[in-house]
Every structure is written in structure tokens, then in C-alpha cells.
Structure 1
Amino acid sequence: MHDLRSIRENPEGFDAGLAARGAEPVAGRILEIDEKRRAVTTRGQEAQARRNDASKAIGAAMGRGEIELAEELKAEVAEIKHTLPALEEEGKALGEELDALLAALPNLPASDVPKGADEAGNVETARWGQQRNFEFDPKEHADLGPPLGLEFETAAEMSGARFAFLRGQMARLERALGQFMLDLQTGQRGYTECIVPLLVREEALYGTGQLPKFAEDNFRTTDDRWLIPTAEVSLTNSVREQILDDLSNPIRLTALTPCFRSEAGAAGKDTRGYIRQHQFYKVELVAICRDEDHETEHEHMVRSAEQVLEALDLPYRRMLLCTGDMGFGARKTFDLEVWLPGQGAYREISSVSWCGEFQARRMNARYRGENGKPAFVHTLNGSGLAVGRTLVAVLENYQQADGSVLVPEALKPYMGGIERLTPQG
């Protein structure tokens, strides 16, 4: 949600920020509705004050024997009593119209975010690791995985497209990846592990920005709860409607959860393989901090994701997303893209975003500053990492000529003695 006061003070700057994200200018419409709403509120307050004054004057007039004046005042009070509900309804309708307009607008980009219409405008800022040289043509995971236990047809028979069935050693590898990531984030990076609800109410998804604009991308139950598209929803909403007494140290939270996405906006993308699924596991990272700490915290979160890739010896690059490729709630985003030799391309495996006050305003999440006055927190979120996509990267980078896959050194303590995934007959 946006700060209405800042829009009043700088409507041109607000529209310029929206334009950088490919959105139409709306500051004029916002200010028009806001002015009407404030005018109605003022009229209501003036009417209520006049009603109170007239009510008091009735008794005084009766005491003086001014019956005619008292009757006139009674009629005026009755008229105001009739008018007030209409003013209240008008103000409420204008407020709802304004809230709906603001809720549908994306966050404004930070000043150092490069301008661009789509992913072509993203900027590579760092690269790590050496791409492996294979003495054979490396396979894509969708071809390599089925003999090892990554089954797509089995899942499709019971659930349809964009589901997978993992069996035996492959299931163990996915579990190992999730546990390894959690241990790294909690043991080395200062995050507190959480187990969170997978079903949330509408206001939780509104708080983190998935609703109302992206309802079709999420799964809804018959009792009006929603399956979380990421643990960001549950973790970030853990501070909703609160005023935190002390935020001198950022709150860092992490969770390994299933995630559920309808992928309505990704029709035709990555229909083959394990890259884009309706159901997948992810280790999510969330931070709650003060404005003055957000840059340091953003870098800390990016490094927390990068260290997973480095521990697994998976080559990656860091990308600063342009204005046209950032998520709805982000002010600044770094994507990490892992090298997939089977595809011969870098693919996104983590997205780490600073959201400023955008989510906090929607959740009414604040902290008490040094002056004792409440201020909105800043929120950050990122993947540390997407487990399924990391599985894909391990398969493609550690594949062998005979179709087997070596287990990375960092995962061996989690694999119960399995050091190589081998094709099953």
C-alpha cells in the first residue's frame, strides 16, 4: 500500500515511479477521490457539531419560553439526523474506492533500479563458480531424472500437469536439500526456524500483496482460506497489526514449506520438467527491520542464498532486476540464476526483494522508534532456496556419462550413506 500523504506532496514523482514499472499514471484520480472523501468527512463533522449545538440550544430556548425557536431547532436536528447516515455512506464508499485503487498499484522502484520493460533490462552484477566441462552431451533433468526416481507420468495420472512423484533415492535427495538449507540458514546466517500455517485467510495474502490483484495465481479452498504460494505470507504476517517495542536488531525468520501456485500467469512456460510446478518445496527467508537497516539486511539475505549455492558448488550469477521485471511488492530485487548445463542457460533459483513499507502498510505492522513514535517496519523476503529447482541444478551439474548423479559433498551427511544416484531397472 502507498503513503497517501507522499502522493499529495509529490504526485508527479508518484506517477513517474509507476511509469517506470509500465503502469498508467493515476495520481490525479487518487487525489480527486481523496479530496472528495475529505470534503465529505468535513461536512459530516460540521453537521455533527451543529447537531450538538442545536440540541443544547433547544433546552435553552424552552427555558426562555421561546417555543417557536425551539421547534425550529428540533426540525434542524431532525434534518441533520437524516443527513448524517448518507454522508457516512458516501464517505465509506469513497474510502473503499480509494483503497481498492491503491491496493492494485505496484510498489515504486528504488532510485538505483535500472529501467527496463522486461528481463532483457536486468543487469548482471556478479558471477561465481566454474561451469563444468563434460566429455559427453549433458542431459536436461527432465530426461535424466525419470530413471533415477523423478517421475512425471505417475503424478500426471492422479493430478494432471505440473506435478511430480519422487521415489526412493530422489525423494531422499530432495529431503536432504531442504534440511541442509535450513541448517545453514539457522546455524550460520541467524534465521529462526518456524513451522507455519499452509492455509491462511484473505487478509494475510492481502498483507503481502498477492491479493486482490493476483487471485487467479493462487489456490482457494471452499471455506475461503488460501493455500500459501510461499511461506513469505505466513512469516511476514506474523507481525501484522503489531507495534514492536524493539527493532534494533532485524527479525530473521525461515521456514521449509510446501508452496502452491496455480501458475495462471505462466501458461506455456516450463511445461516440461520440474522447474515450474503447482506444488513444490521452498526454504523461505523473511526479515523485518528498520528503514536504516534495509540495505545491510538486503545484502545479508542475498548472501544467505548465495552461500547455499556455493556450498553445493553450483555456478550462479547475481542479477539486479529492472523496473519492468520486479515483483508487485518489491522496491529492489536481486535474482540468483544457477547454471543448468543440460539447458545451457542460467535459470532463476532465488529472488530476494526489499519491499520498503509497502507490505507493512497493508498489514499495519509498526515498531516504536527512538522517539517513541510508531513507524512502519521494512520487510524483505527471498528464497534460500527453491528446493525443487536446486534439485534440478544438482542433477544437471553432477550428472555422469552412465546416467548416474554424484551427491555433492555438502549433502552426504544427509543422505544416509548414498553417494551416487543410480538409474533403477
Structure 2
Amino acid sequence: MLDLTLIREHPQRVERALAKRAVHVNLTTFLALDEKYRQNKTQAETLRAERKRISRKIAQLPPTGPTAVAKRAEATELSARLAAIEEQLAGLTAERQAFLDQLPNLPDEDVPAGGKAQNQVVREHGTQPDFDFEPRDHVDLARRLGLIDYERGVKLGGTGHWVYRGNGALLEWALLNFFLETHVRDGYEFILPPHLLTYQAGYTAGQFPKFAEDVFAIEQGPAGPQRFLLPTSETALVNLHRDEVLAEAELPRKYVAYSPCYRREAGSYRATERGTLRGHQFNKVEMFQFAHPDASDLAHEELLARAAELVEALGLHHRITRLAAEDTSAAMAKTFDVEVWLPSISAYVEVSSVSNARDYQARRGNTRYRPAAGKPAYVHTLNASGLATSRLLPAMLEQHQRPDGTVAVPKVLQRWLGCEFLKPSTTE
């Protein structure tokens, strides 16, 4: 949620920032609503104080005396006025909150305006593989190597599902083990979150109410999904310290979680989104930090470096891209994507989004820290995929394939698979 004081004091600045996302708002109407809310709130507080004063006075008077009778009548009249004001205030509160809940985060100053076309490549690592043979695509390779059963995945779960089997399952698990082992070694606390979350968890993360249709709801309520399958571990991790005040010395709090991610992924699949590139369930390791606002940018750089180092350790050509405002998710102020090269489609695909929400999520979840001096302030929340596997595995198969149809296993994974090469399970 946006800082209300910022909206009140710098409405044009907020409007300009939102316009970078193609969100065009005129805050004049909202500010008039907010002013009416504040006036009603002041009136309600005044009436409550006056009613309390009269109640104290009544307690000091003889109960049947004329003054007590008059004061009770006055208190009754005050209560009626207060009830009317509180009814108006409840409506104004709901209307004001509904408007604020729809506003996305403000993009940072260095985030370019516009959509995907305005994304900026920050740097590249390595070079695109140059094959001296006719390379196969990841779907063909996975079938020949007996790694993924696409047909039985659809039979079990429908479109957007697959089955890892044999060395494919071992490779998937090796990736997850490698990621988790690395993050725990580097000081991140390992979390296994619940897969069913409450509405408040989705609200804090910034997904509800606007993006409620994107999740698999288990129970529906008047406000939206009362319980739903987590779309990413970030949705759980951002709620770990909801409604808590952390000690300043405890920051940053660093967590890493593994979970399957459940996504509705509404809409038709593009021809290039074959195999595991897009699905309703995939595995991901997620890094998360609750950071001091003064250290927020450094935390962002650290998370980006960690995600990129994992891709480098797998020997994959990749690039880092700064997302434009319209391509940045609603709750985030800035996002860098780590994108691996997929030769079969001559395109880069995202395997990690590294994002800084600033205090947007912390305001929604009321997560604060207590400085050595002064009032509690909101923390900054940051997250990074570390990493998602459903696009990573296709890139590994395609970039590490060899002329004889085998695929080289990255050295960092070999101890889990017990081999240096993946070999076809059937002859051509």
C-alpha cells in the first residue's frame, strides 16, 4: 500500500510515477474523500470525548435529580449523533481503503516507463552457444533422454502438467538441493511454508484484491479467496512477520523457502511455450529479505548477485534485464530479471525475478522495526527466485547438448546424479 502522507503532500508526484505504469489517476477526488474522512473522524473523536465527559458528570449526580435526567438526555442525543457519524465514517473508510488497495507500487526513478519493449539489458554473461551440428529442442531431448513424460502429465493433471521421471526427477531434485545448500551456507534460514494460505496472506503480498483471479482458490468468501494454493513462496514469506515489530539489530532477516508454485496461467499457450516453459505447477526456491530501508538497495544487489551466480555455476549463457514499469509486478518498485538463452526459440526466458517492494508490502502487512531512537518504521521487503526450475532445465538441456545426443551434467550437480552425462534411454 502506498504511503498516504506521500499522496496527500505530493499528489502530482504520485500521479507521474503511476503514469509510468500506464495507470492514470486523478487524485483530486480521492483527496476530497480523504479530507471528508478526516473531518468525520475528528467529529467522532470529539463526540466520544464529550459523551465520556457527560458520563463522568452523571456518575457524580444524584440519579433521580433533574440535572442527571437532563444529562442523560444529552448523552442519548450525543450517542445518536455519534452513531450517525460512525456509520458515515465506516462507509468513507471502506471507500478510501478500496481505492488505496487498487493502487500499485510506485516504480523507482531509474525504472523506465512503458512495457516490455522498454526493458533494458544491463549485462550479459558468456556467449550464445554455437553448435556445429543440428541441435535438438528441449522437448525432443527430454523425451529421448527419458527425463520428462509430457503425455502422462496431461493425463494426470490436464494441460500445463508434466511428470519428471528417472534422471529427470533426479536432475530436478539436484537443482533444488544445490540451490538450498548454497543459500543456507550463505546465511539464509530454511523455511518450508504451508501450501494453503489465507486471504490476508494474499493481501499483504499485494496480490489481493486486484489479482485474486490469478490463484487457485480453495475456499471463496465475500472479499475473495479465503484460502488458496500459494502461487510462490514469497506470498508466504512476506507474512512471516506480519503485525510484528522487529528489533533494528535483527535486520536483515534472510529466509529461503522451497515449494511447488501453483498458477492458473489463464489464456492460451503460445506455440513457443512447449514442454515445461509454462505450466500450472512448477518448483521454485525463493530467497526473501526483511531489510532496513537504508540497506534496501544493497540487499537488492546481493539478491541479484546470488541468483546470477547460481546460473553461472550451471554454465549457462544468460543476461540481466531491468524491467520497465508496466512489466514490473504491481507490488514491486524495481525488478531485475535473470534470463537464460533458449536456442530453440532464439529467445531469453526468465528464471529469476529479483524485486524490491520498498515499504509497499510492509504497510499492507504492518511489518515494522524499532529503531534505537524514534517511532517504529516500516521495513523493506525484497524477494528473488533462487531459482525456478521449469525454464532452467530446458535451457540446460539445449545449451549443454552434444552431437551424440547426450547432455553434459553441470559439475555442481554431478554428485546427486552420479554421472557426467545424460544418455538417451532409447535408440533412434
The TM-score, its normalising length taken from structure 2, stands at 0.93
d(CA) in 1 for partners of 2:41, 2:345: 60
d(CA) in 2 for partners of 1:364, 1:382: 21
Find 1:179's aligned residue among 174, 177, 180.
Answer: 177
- Decide whether aligned partners of structure 1 residues 191 and 61 sit closer, same or farther in structure 2, where only a CA change above 3 A counts: closer
Matched letter for residue 285 of structure 2 = V
Give 1:113 deviation, angstroms: 1.1
Contact 1:247/1:289 (CA < 8 Å) preserved in 2? no
Contact 2:219/2:228 (CA < 8 Å) preserved in 1? no
What corresponds to 1:207 in structure 2? 204
Give 1:134 deviation, angstroms: 0.8
d(CA) in 1 for partners of 2:183, 2:53: 64
Find 1:316's aligned residue among 304, 315, 318.
Answer: 318
Contact 1:405/1:422 (CA < 8 Å) preserved in 2? no
* Structure 2: unaligned runs, 5 residues or longer: 221-225
Matched letter for residue 25 of structure 2 = P
SS in 2 for 1:241: coil
CA RMSD between the two structures: 2.1
Q: Give CA-to-partner distance per residue, 1:334-374, whole Å, 9 cap, x none.
A: 11110111222111111100110000001100111121521
SS in 2 for 1:268: coil
Give 1:211 deviation, angstroms: 1.0
What corresponds to 1:34 in structure 2? 34
Give 1:274 deviation, angstroms: 0.7
Contact 2:138/2:275 (CA < 8 Å) preserved in 1? yes
Contact 1:404/1:423 (CA < 8 Å) preserved in 2? no
Contact 1:403/1:423 (CA < 8 Å) preserved in 2? no
What corresponds to 2:160 in structure 1? 162
d(CA) in 2 for partners of 1:227, 1:220: 7
Find 2:274's aligned residue among 244, 258, 272.
Answer: 272
The TM-score, its normalising length taken from structure 1, stands at 0.93
Matched letter for residue 235 of structure 2 = V
What corresponds to 1:140 in structure 2? 137
What corresponds to 2:7 in structure 1? 7
d(CA) in 2 for partners of 1:351, 1:250: 20
Find 2:294's aligned residue among 292, 295, 299.
Answer: 292
Q: Give CA-to-partner distance per residue, 1:24-57, whole Å, 9 cap, x none.
A: 2142232122111111112212222333444456
What corresponds to 1:306 in structure 2? 308
Identical counterparts, % of pairs: 39
Structure 1 residues 10-409: aligned runs within 5 Å? 10-55=10-55, 67=66, 71-116=69-114, 118-148=115-145, 149-187=147-185, 189-222=186-219, 224-247=226-249, 249-264=251-266, 266-269=267-270, 271-409=273-411
Q: Which shifted more, 120-129 or 413-422?
A: 413-422
d(CA) in 1 for partners of 2:60, 2:182: 77
- Decide whether aligned partners of structure 1 residues 61 and 150 sit closer, same or farther in structure 2, where only a CA change above 3 A counts: closer
d(CA) in 1 for partners of 2:394, 2:347: 13
Q: Give CA-to-partner distance per residue, 1:82-112, whole Å, 9 cap, x none.
A: 2222222221221122112111111001111
Q: Which shifted more, 269-278 or 107-116?
A: 269-278
Contact 2:199/2:227 (CA < 8 Å) preserved in 1? yes
SS in 2 for 1:257: strand
* Structure 1: unaligned runs, 5 residues or longer: none
Q: Give CA-to-partner distance per residue, 1:380-407, whole Å, 9 cap, x none.
A: 0011111121111111111123332221
Give 1:421 deviation, angstroms: 3.6
Contact 1:169/1:421 (CA < 8 Å) preserved in 2? no
